[in-house]
Amino acid sequence: MESTTENSTMENSPRQSAATVGIDPSIVSMVDAIPSNAPVVPVMRLKDVAVSFNGKVAVRDVTFDVGKNRVTSMIGPSGSGKTTLLRALNRLHDLTKSAVVTGSITLDDVDIYKGGIPTTLLRTRVGMVFQRPNPFPTMSIYDNVASGLRFNGIKKKAFLDDAIEHSLRAAALWDSVESRLKVAAATLSGGEQQRLCIARALAVEPEILLMDEPTSSLDPVSTQHIEDLLTSLKEIVTIVIVTHNMQQAARVSDDCAFLLMGEDRAGELIEFATTEKIFTNPTDKRTLDYIQGRFG
């Protein structure tokens, strides 16, 4: 097939171009260099997005498209506004009175801030996995995964049973919890808890899954598990992932957004491109500096 030939040529080219620009080849070798041949279909589009708190800009000038069934990573130094931007995508800033989101964010061409879609519905379509696993402590494993469906009024046991098995399988957790679904979620290990949270988010069948440093509180083995998971999840859900770990961004993502603080300490989007391009041949000097570890 065509993709195999594409593959082999692409496998080498990043390293070569990396050598020319002086990027650590160990990172480059991790780039998942399989550009999908299918055209990229934007599912969420950000245009001139900015978020400010109490009038102080935290992140601005963000314009890019999130491609359907792709993994989009956001990288950048601490304070560059990655979390702030991610939380704007499912309106979590609504809770913070001082937060103002400007610009436009559209989901299937509907502006999510212009009342075109109820916030609760938006959040079932755009789910979130947090930095620290946050299973609901008073609920069992089963109830945790069922919670999103129940919030949305689904009560039928057969349906829930099905959805829960399906979600837990998708999160690669089913085999280890099948026999103890009624046990408190808190009894799971940290990595298992994070996979539970992924299953919980998947259960409502979101179109987009936002993940804020989902592996930063986990050990290397659990991290590996979740990274493996992301690649398979791509089939069913579009993923936007914030990560501090450049190797991780290189390994798991198809597209990459690089954010950096400007002179006035407000974060801004410096470059958005395919992960391959960002890690092998970035357009902006600052991206290159960051990739090469000159700051952050």
- Return residues touching Mg ion (CB under 5 A): 83
What is the rounded distance in angstroms from the CA atom of residue 66 to the CA atom of residue 158? 35
Contact status: 96 vs ligand ATP (CB under 6 A): yes
C-beta neighbour count of 216 within 10 angstroms: 14
Contacted entry of ligand ATP, Mg ion, another protein, none for residue 137, CB cut-off 5 to 8 Å set by kind: another protein
Report the nearest approach of Mg ion to the CB of residue 83 (Å).
3
Report the nearest approach of Mg ion to the CB of residue 244 (Å).
8
Report the nearest approach of another protein to the CB of residue 251 (Å).
25
The residue (of 164 and 269) whose beta carbon lies closer to ligand ATP is: 269
The residue (of 13 and 52) whose beta carbon lies closer to ligand ATP is: 52
Looking at the chain, how many residues does it have?
A: 296
Taking CB under 8 A as the rule, which mask of x and - marks residues 191-220 in contact with another protein?
A: ------x--xx--x----------------
Count how many Cα atoms sit within 13 Å of the Cα of residue 93 in the half-sphere of its side chain. 21
Contacted entry of another protein, Mg ion, ligand ATP, none for residue 80, CB cut-off 5 to 8 Å set by kind: ligand ATP
Which of 78, 175, 220, 235: binder of ligand ATP (CB under 6 A)?
78
* Burial of 208 from C-beta contacts in 10 A (0-12 / 13-18 / 19+): buried
AA letter at 202: L
The residue (of 62 and 170) whose beta carbon lies closer to ligand ATP is: 62
Contact status: 110 vs another protein (CB under 8 A): no
Contact status: 130 vs ligand ATP (CB under 6 A): no
What is the rounded distance in angstroms from the CA atom of residue 277 to the CA atom of residue 274? 5
Contact status: 85 vs another protein (CB under 8 A): no
Count how many Cα atoms sit within 13 Å of the Cα of residue 13 in the half-sphere of its side chain. 13
Would you call 195 helix, strand, or coil by DSSP? helix
Q: Scanning residues 237 to 266, which ones bind ligand ATP (CB under 6 A)?
A: 244
Contact status: 80 vs ligand ATP (CB under 6 A): yes
Q: Scanning residues 131 to 150, which ones bind another protein (CB under 8 A)?
A: 132, 134, 136-140, 147-148, 150
Which of 69, 72, 73, 84: binder of ligand ATP (CB under 6 A)?
84
Contact status: 144 vs ligand ATP (CB under 6 A): no
Handedness of CA 209, 212, 217, 222 (dihedral sign): positive
